[in-house]
Structures are given as structure tokens and as C-alpha cells.
Structure 1
Amino acid sequence: MTEQQIATALDELVSLVAEGKPMEAFEKFYHENLEKTDLDGITHQGKTVNEKIGLDLLSKVTAVRDFTAVGKIIKGNRSFLVWSLDFDHANNGAIKVTQVAIQDWEDGKIIRERFIA
């Protein structure tokens, strides 16, 4: 996958999220062998496991004030996508953070993703 192809894929992923379709973006752009490490530092293996985690998180979001991509860098098969997040979570209260998703691409999909804030 070229850097331009990754940039185009990221633009579509961000558009789907902006349209309120984050799980459609997940389905389209994440690899079956996904390895994902969230801000808590815990790594989860496999697309199915990560899909369940994502659905659980989304089910507990009670209000969204901001969920936008504010920057991206692509070098080789790695992308850095910066998100601005401001939302309320049923268990954790108000969450306001700028985070970076570090994504490695394989076969046209994200195979590894790590978040830092």
C-alpha cells in the first residue's frame, strides 16, 4: 500500500466516524489479525475481540461534544492519526483528551494500532 493509498483510506475512515459510523469504519479498515493497544496499555488480539470492546465502549457514551481528527502523518506503512475527543462515558464520566493512533498497515488494513495521549 502506498502512502497516498493510506492517506485516502484514512480520509474515508475519518469521514465514516464523522458520519456516526465508527463500526463501519472498523469493519472496512481493520485487519482480521488486529493487535490493538488502548490508552490503558492493555493489548487485545484479533478483530472480533476488538470489535466487542469497541461496541461496549460506544454503548456507554452518553454525550459527544467533540470527536474529530485533527491531523495525520504517513510514512511508509505507518500512519499517525491525531484525534480530539470530548465525550461523557457512563462509567468514567467526562473524557477530554487529544490522542494519537499509531497504525501499521498490511494488506490494505490496519493490523496494529496503539494509542498514546
Structure 2
Amino acid sequence: MTEAQIQSSVEEIVTLALSGQGLEAWEKYYHPDVEKIDLDGISIQGKEKVIAANQTLLGNITEVRTFVHAGTVVKGNRSFIVWDVDFDVNGLGTINTVEVCIQDWQDGQIIKERFFA
């Protein structure tokens, strides 16, 4: 996959996420063997488990004040998406941060995704 193809895929992911269609992005772009490491440092492995964890998080959001795409970089088979977020989550409290989502791509899909703030 070329950098231009990854860039196009990332642009679609951002568009889907901002329009509330994260599930569609995850179904299309997560590799079956994807590993996700969120801000808590816990590793989740496998597409079904990662999607379930994402849906649980989204289902526990009680208020969104900010959800903005702040930038993207693609280099080689790695993409970096910067998000500016401010929302409340049941059981976690307020998440108000600028985070970087680092994605490693394999066979046209995300094989590893990590979040840092």
C-alpha cells in the first residue's frame, strides 16, 4: 500500500469518525489481527474485541464538548491522526486532551493502533 493510498484511507476514517460512523471505519479498515493500545496502556487483540471495546467506550460517553481532527501525517506504512477531544465517560470521568493515534498498516488495513496523549 502506498503512502497516497494510506492517506486516502485515513481521510475516509476521519470523515466517518466525525460523522458518527466509526463502526463503518472499523469494519472496513481494521485487520482481523489488529492490536489496539488505548490511553490506559491495555492491549486488546483481534478485530471483534477491539470493535466491542470501541463500542463500549462510545456507549458510555455522556457529553461531547469537542471532537476535532487536528492533523494527519503518513510516512511509510504508518499514519498519525491527531484528535482534540473533550468528553465525559461514565466510569472514567472527563477526557480532555490532544491525542495522537498511531496506526501501522498491513494489507490495506490497520494491524496496530496506539493512542498517546
**In the alignment, residue 110 of structure 1 is paired with which amino acid?**
I
- Secondary structure of the 2:65 match is strand
How far is the alpha carbon of 1:13 from its aligned partner? 0.5
Which SS does the other structure have where 1:85 is aligned?
strand
Aligned residues with identical type, % of pairs: 50
- Any idea what the Cα deviations from partners look like across 1:36-74, whole Å, max 9, x if unmatched? 111111111100111111111111001111112111111
TM-score by length of 1: 0.96
- Using the size of structure 2 for normalisation, the TM-score is 0.96
Tell me what 2:3 maps to.
Answer: 3
How far apart are residue 107 of structure 1 and its match? Answer: 0.8
- Map 1:35-46 onto structure 2 (within 5 A): 35-46=35-46
Question: In the alignment, which residue of structure 2 is the partner of 1:18?
Answer: 18
What is the distance in 2 between the residues matched to 1:37 and 1:95? 16
Task: Write the letter of the residue equivalent to 2:95.
Answer: I
3-state SS in 2 of match to 1:113 = strand
Paired residues for 1:70-109 under 5 Å: 70-109=70-109
Task: Measure the CA separation in 2 of the matches of 1:42 and 1:96.
Answer: 19
- Structure 2 CA distance for aligned equivalents of residues 68 and 7 of structure 1: 18
Aligned residues: 117
Runs of 5+ unmatched residues, structure 1:
none
RMSD of aligned C-alpha atoms?
Answer: 0.9
Structure 2: runs of 5 or more not aligned: none
Is 1:55 aligned to residue 46 of structure 2? no
Deviation at 1:93, TM superposition (A): 2.0
